[in-house]
Amino acid sequence: MDLQLSGRVAVVTGASKGIGLAITRTLAEEGAHVVAVSRTRSDEWPDKVVHVAADLMDPEAPARVVARAVEEFGGVDILVNNAGGPPPGVTLPRMGFMTPDDDDWRAMFEFNLFSAVRMIRAAVPVMVERGGGSIVNVSSTLSKQPGATNVDYGAAKAALSHVGKAVSEEYGPQGVRVNTVTPGAVLTDWWTKEGGAAEVFAGLAGSDKESVISEVAPAMMKLATGRLIYPQEIADAVALLVSPRSGSTTGAEFVIDGGQLKEL
């Protein structure tokens, strides 16, 4: 299926690994001009990808990113706010409401909410000038399933989902679509890296890293598929959502969680 993305200009944040890497490669393979935003370059990007080194904890970074996209390609048609998760230097999961202090909450919201808000603020005027565009925000099932683990992260992602619906309502008449993709547990280095979530849960469960990834975590989250999600599965959904083939889809949320969430 032709997604009609050839020649369109896409900005992808958090583009160097995991979900962001899969999205960057997929959009580039579909013919889009991709501006990949990350603190470090990835050797796994297609050659034509333009890297903009940026730390999105810097409030000035989003405007510089959009300006670079305009300089390189004349505008922005697609924005994927994928950057998120643990702020630099932070390890999740973090257990208990009392564990994160004020600075932890500020950093979590800065990275998972405010960076996306600023990216949207920078990109929307450029999109409107070009006659429209598409934004996808990457959230988390923790935004919909509150609990004692990663409370600050879930709260930030819930706020991001709210922002997406609000912006879609305001700018839909001007041709800007905004949707949210809500992944469950995705098999990225958030889980697999040394000291990552799999090792943390292994310590709590008296298990080992490999067993957590293959058995313990899917069982704990009651995943109907019995496995964690592959990054490409998220990327495929994002590519369809930013495509003109999804031209009537806005203000929507797409949950890709392996059957984790059970509520109607």
Backbone angles phi, psi at 174, to 5 degrees: -100, 10
146 alpha carbon, distance to own chain's centre: 19
- Are the C-beta atoms of residues 47 and 103 closer than 8 Å to each other? no
Name the nearest CA neighbour of 216 among 207, 112, 225: 207
- Are the C-beta atoms of residues 192 and 21 closer than 8 Å to each other? no
Query: Residue 168 in 3-state DSSP?
Result: helix
Backbone angles phi, psi at 186, to 5 degrees: -105, 140
Q: How many CB atoms lie within 10 A of CB 263?
A: 5
182 φ/ψ sector (left φ>0, alpha ψ -120 to 50, else beta): beta
Which positions are annotated as active-site residues? Answer: 153
Name the nearest CA neighbour of 154 among 85, 98, 89, 88: 85
Q: In whole angstroms, give the CA distance from residue 148 to residue 96.
A: 5
Q: Following DSSP, what letter does each residue of 112-128 receive, concatenated?
A: IIIHHHHHHHHHHHHHH
